[in-house]
Amino acid sequence: MKTIKILGMGCPSCQATEDVVRQALQQSGKEAAVEKVEDIQEIMKYNVLTTPVLVVDEEIKIKGRVPDVNEVIELL
């Protein structure tokens, strides 16, 4: 099972990214463990300066913008 992390401090873009990820999972029928990471110390471990960040299996896939549903489905 894939692990998806959404890094962000709870801003509207971070919330939108989480919604998009959940929609993508539902539409694709795939399963993944989704984790929202809001702790700044944890986020800094990924060496990113802009959020939201989408991490799939510990690899940064998208940062600094909200992806669309089809883009997330392709990453799954």
Q: Which of the residues are catalytic?
A: 11, 14
DSSP secondary structure code for residue 51 in this structure = S
Query: What's the pLDDT tens digit per position in 11-30?
Result: 999 999 999 999 999 999 99
Query: What's the pLDDT tens digit per position in 29-58?
Result: 999 999 999 999 999 999 999 999 999 999
Beta strands in 1-76 (DSSP E): 2-7, 32-37, 53-56, 59-63
- Residue 6: pLDDT band (50, 70, 90) is very high
pLDDT over 90 (residue 10):
no
- pTM above the 0.85 mark? yes
Q: Tokens standing for 28?
A: 């694709």
- Topology given in CATH for the domain delimited by 2-75: Glutaredoxin (3.40.30)
